[in-house]
Amino acid sequence: MITITTATTVDIPLIQEIAHKTWPNTYGEILSTAQIDYMLELFYATDALVHNMTENGHHFLLAKEDTICLGFASYEHHYLSQNKTRLHKIYMLPEAQGKGVGKLLLDKIESLAKRNKSNALSLNVNKFNKAFTFYQKMGFEIVAEEDLKLDHGYLMEDYRMEKKL
């Protein structure tokens, strides 16, 4: 049985471990190894995660089967002072993908968003990420294209997607 629990700063090493195992598999055909390493450090450094959890209003969930963590997600209510809940991150270990774990996490976040009176879920996904199809199946639609420039000339080529609640 898979359970969804709330993560705290104590769980940061676990979140980092999953991110480091997942990103090369998820982005290896899309981004250079140097860009993956840069983005992992940018988004998953301990200080960045602590800041997001304690000051930026990001909530983290863990999906566990018994004592094994299969994946995590993070979200934020009232994103950019709008009546939306933002899905910031959702990653499953490669061996857990395709088993419904992502859907369970997304369903939980959708439930929490409705409880917080959000009218939509919002996310960004790389245009070339296989997860794009997953989000479409889950009811998300493209609302914009965004190219976000990072340091070192790196570029995030994303779709912004939303699901009405």
Calculate the CA 21 to chain-centre distance: 14
pLDDT value of position 116: 96
Mean pLDDT of the chain, nearest integer: 96
Across the range 48-59, mean pLDDT stands at 97
* pLDDT value at 69 more than 90: yes
pLDDT value of position 65: 95
Across the range 91-104, mean pLDDT stands at 93
Rg (CA), the chain: 15
| Structural domains in the chain plus CATH codes | 2-120 (3.40.630.30)
pLDDT value of position 98: 87
73-89 residue pLDDT tens: 999 999 999 999 999 99
* pLDDT value at 43 more than 90: yes
Q: pTM for the complete prediction?
A: 0.94
